[in-house]
Amino acid sequence: MRAYIFKRENNNFDDIKKDTVIKRKFKTFVAWSQHLMIGTEDLDDKTDSYILLKFGEELVTSGLFKDFTPIPYVDYTPDPNRPEKFKNVYK
């Protein structure tokens, strides 16, 4: 499935929802606080370009989910008795 996530401060996505190209191609519409996700199974290059040109400034490409990867010596202390080949390079 191909999905696009849009973000707006005013939470008004009526122009995207009523766009004839998007209504014809996309079947999934999910909205939450200041965000709208649209999804489809079949997407051609013309529709992809159309969305990027018309609504590209509102697309969310990063920062939607926080990275919860643990940080050595901050979130945990590695075992000092670990074999040398498995020791972290971070300190």
User: What does the alpha-carbon distance between residue 35 and residue 13 come to, in Å, rounded to a whole number?
Assistant: 9
Strand, helix or coil at 3? Answer: strand
CA angle 85, 88, 91 (to 5 degrees): 140
Proportion of the chain above pLDDT 70, given as a percent: 95
pLDDT greater at residue 89 or residue 61: 61
Write out pLDDT tens, residues 20-58: 999 999 999 999 999 999 999 988 999 999 999 999 999
Beta bridge partners of 38: 4, 29
User: What does the alpha-carbon distance between residue 2 and residue 39 come to, in Å, rounded to a whole number?
Assistant: 6
Q: Answer whether residue 83 shows pLDDT above 90.
A: no
Residue type, position 63, single letter: G
Residue pointed to by tokens 């190209």 = 21
Residue type, position 69, single letter: T
Structure confidence at residue 8 (pLDDT): 94
